Amino acid sequence: MNRLRALFLAPSAAFTVVLFLAPMAIIVGYSFMTRGVYGGVTGPWTVENYQRLFDPLYGVILWRSLVMSTLATALCLLIAFPLALFIARAEEKRKNIYLYLVILPFWTSFLVRTYAWMFLLRDSGLINSVLLSLHVIQKPLPLLYNETAVVVGLVYGYLPFAVLPLYSNLERMDKNLLEAAADLGATQWETIRRVVLPLCAPGMRAAGVLVFIPCLGAYLTPDLLGGGKSIMIGNLIQNQFTTARDWPFGAAISLALMALVMVLLLALLRRDGEEAL
């Protein structure tokens, strides 16, 4: 068996080593180097790139990314929980359709979904056009290119990531507990607050991490909906590797982002085990 298995694993192992682990190793190396005069990387070895992460100039962007990702995650959970509850309580044959409707936009291009919001929110967009023609407003509202637009885009983009784990958590829940709560005189709201929500904690944690991670690393959403003013970590990294041509600093930010992602995932896995995801 072992020979066949080794043969089967060889291509994926090769791809993983050459196109994932090696590039990451290069990034680790670069993050300790110095920016060259023409944008390349040179010696000497230094930890200065990591110290610069705490420079207020960049700290603002890192902090903004954390705040916006937290906000988007909280909104996703707030929206996803009632929706997951609705699907879990629906008739058996309808459940699949309801779930399908959650995932369906996800199969469309991310770029298209983001553009749909640009189309709605821009100065000459649908919302402003309608409000202007109804004379509700005299000049277009600045809906696009701000932090609110970015958070809306993030919620829109990653909502399915929150619905699915919450739904599977609710599906696995022992329905007898709900009946017991009702028998003991709890109202429906009390049952949700004191029985369903506590039992949903693992689903909430999984959903939270699954939404927070892509939000934190988001690039397209802040780029297209936030304009230049609301950039996040992802845009900062891209900028270092293109316009600013400061690869060592870009590498250091990338690794800080990776570290955050891994800490979150490991914390979740340690807490809830592998089936959490």
Partner 1 sequence: MKQGRFLGVFAAGVYAFLHVPLLILCAFSFNRSKFTIWEGFSLEWYRQMFADGQLGEAAWNSLVIALASTVLATAIGTLCAYGLWKKNSKWLSGSLYLSLVTPEIVTGISLLALFQWVFRYWQVQLGMHTVILAHVAFSIAYVLLVVMARLRTAEPALEDAALDLGASEWEAFRLVTLPILKPGIAAAALLAFTVSFDDYVITSLVAGVDSETLPMVLYAMARRGANPVVSAISTVIFLGFGALILLSERMQKNP
* Total number of residues shown for the chain: 277
Q: Which residue, among 68, 112, 80, has the nearest Cα to 230 in the 3D structure?
A: 68
Q: Which residue, 158 or 202, is less far from partner 1 as judged by CB?
A: 158
Query: Residue 42: helix, strand or coil by DSSP?
Result: strand
- Could you count the other beta carbons within 10 Å of the beta carbon of residue 66? 16
Q: Which residue, 20 or 63, is less far from partner 1 as judged by CB?
A: 20
Tokens of 13: 């192992």
Residue 269, judged by CB atoms within 10 A of its CB (0-12, 13-18, 19+), counts as middle
In the complex, the smallest distance separating the C-beta of residue 179 from partner 1, rounded to whole angstroms, is 15
Q: Which residue, 81 or 204, is less far from partner 1 as judged by CB?
A: 81
Query: Residue 139: helix, strand or coil by DSSP?
Result: coil
In the complex, the smallest distance separating the C-beta of residue 240 from partner 1, rounded to whole angstroms, is 8
In the complex, the smallest distance separating the C-beta of residue 162 from partner 1, rounded to whole angstroms, is 11
In the complex, the smallest distance separating the C-beta of residue 107 from partner 1, rounded to whole angstroms, is 5
Q: Which residue, 202 or 234, is less far from partner 1 as judged by CB?
A: 234
Tokens of 45: 């070895």
Q: Which residue, 201 or 262, is less far from partner 1 as judged by CB?
A: 262
Cα–Cα distance for residue pair 260/183, rounded to 1 Å: 45
Q: Which residue, 173 or 258, is less far from partner 1 as judged by CB?
A: 258
Q: Which residue, 105 or 147, is less far from partner 1 as judged by CB?
A: 105
In the complex, the smallest distance separating the C-beta of residue 13 from partner 1, rounded to whole angstroms, is 6
Q: Which residue, among 206, 270, 232, has the nearest Cα to 60 in the 3D structure?
A: 232
Q: Which residue, 33 or 204, is less far from partner 1 as judged by CB?
A: 33
In the complex, the smallest distance separating the C-beta of residue 194 from partner 1, rounded to whole angstroms, is 14
In the complex, the smallest distance separating the C-beta of residue 208 from partner 1, rounded to whole angstroms, is 14
In the complex, the smallest distance separating the C-beta of residue 218 from partner 1, rounded to whole angstroms, is 8
Tokens of 53: 């992460």
- What burial letters (b/e) apply to 130-142, b meaning 16+ CB within 10 Å? eebeeeeeeebee
Cα–Cα distance for residue pair 59/72, rounded to 1 Å: 20
Question: For residues 151 and 75, is the Cβ–Cβ distance under 8 A?
Answer: yes
Query: Residue 186: helix, strand or coil by DSSP?
Result: coil
DSSP state of 204: H
